[in-house]
Amino acid sequence: MSDSRISVGLAQIAPVWLNRDATIDKVVSWIEKAAGEGCSLVVFGEALLPGYPFWVERTDGARFESEIQKSLFAHYVSQGIVIENGDLDRICKAARAHKISVYLGIMERAADRGGHSLYCSMVYVDAEGVIGSAHRKLMPTHEERLVWAIGDGHGLRTHKLGPFTAGGLNCWENWLPLARASLYAQGEDLHVAIWPGNVRNTEEITRFIARESRSYVLSVGGLMRKSDIGLELPHSDLLTDTADDLMADGGSCVAAPNGEWLLEPQAGDESLYIVELDHKRVLEEHHSLDVAGHYARPDVTRLVVNRKRQTTAEFSDD
């Protein structure tokens, strides 16, 4: 493979829903699979580890002090990822062993915010197994706000990946112009958008971001089927009775820097989709439009980004 090209893998899979350890097992196996196919990067969907909260809109999730919602939330938090405790160590070891980078959506149980709330985080692990960033979703979307906390700008960062500069956002925050602009300003030319999984979410915005940024855009979604609801889960009968047969159909796709499809949205199947990217196309398309470079007017409009990790207390023991 030439120095201007890399292969990337889009792992469109279902989690072992709301089971952290079993989902980690599955993620590791797909990392190994992508590496075996020669991928430099493999991407998984939003909140895949341990799963998206599909129950909220189906079980009267906004009812205050509901015992059902409390017990489901408690289980969800118990399956969250505490990065500081090494919960991602096996994934980091797999990335290092197979020399592959990983973008993965997790439910982060944030130790620096008390440890009892969940943040929808997008984690980047490099090919040395080092966590480069954990971006907490800036604003949960609609019913997500009933179970997820609001993130911050700390993870709005990019990472070198061969000839590319990669960055990414969670789901609907890809619609935030300023969040996208913060990544463009850091040289992003490979944009990763992760989703819980639906073609309706990816079929338009993927090509739009590619044309705006003149970058490759990978959209990766997960799957969720009624059959993925385990009988051991709290209120499993209610979860099954209120579920659709298919709640997330994937929608993974790839657009080139001119907006053309390299991989049209894929629905319904659990699969690893592999696409080769050539950085030369990024340079060609920036000839006519570079929103952070020759087509920008920083003397007229500029973006200020606060990347400080937000916390509720600062302690001084002096």
Residue 72 inside a domain? The answer is yes
Task: Name the percent of the chain lying above pLDDT 90.
Answer: 98
Q: Give yes or no for residue 298 having a pLDDT over 50.
A: yes
Active-site hit among 26, 92, 120, 137:
137
Residue 317 inside a domain? The answer is no
Work out the average pLDDT over 253-280: 97
Which domain, by its residues, includes 228? Answer: 5-285
**How far apart are the C-alpha atoms of 132 and 123, rounded to whole Å?**
8
Residue 14 inside a domain? The answer is yes
Annotated active-site residue 39? The verdict is no
Residue 309 inside a domain? The answer is no
Annotated active-site residue 137? The verdict is yes
Domain of 199, CATH number, reads 3.60.110.10
Active-site hit among 39, 92, 120, 171:
171
Residue 276 inside a domain? The answer is yes
Residue 292 inside a domain? The answer is no
Q: Give yes or no for residue 308 having a pLDDT over 50.
A: yes
Annotated active-site residue 46? The verdict is yes
Residue 261 inside a domain? The answer is yes
Of 194, 195, 219, nearest to 273 by C-alpha is 219
pTM: 0.96
pLDDT tens column, 199-227: 999 999 999 999 999 999 999 999 999 99
**Backbone angles phi and psi of 255, in degrees to 5:** -115, 145
Q: Which helix (H) or strand (E) holds 121?
A: strand 118-125
Residue 310 inside a domain? The answer is no
3-state DSSP helix/strand/coil % of the chain, to nearest 5: 30, 25, 45
**How far apart are the C-alpha atoms of 68 and 79, rounded to whole Å?**
17
Active-site hit among 46, 108, 144, 188:
46
Tokens of 153: 């700008």
1 pLDDT tier (thresholds 50, 70, 90): very low
Q: What is the pLDDT of residue 2?
A: 66
- How many distinct structural domains can be found in the chain? 1
Tokens of 215: 């970058």
CA distances from 146 to 54, 63, 150, 243 (A): 12, 10, 11, 18
pLDDT tens column, 64-113: 999 999 999 999 999 999 999 999 999 999 999 999 999 999 999 999 99
Work out the average pLDDT over 295-307: 97
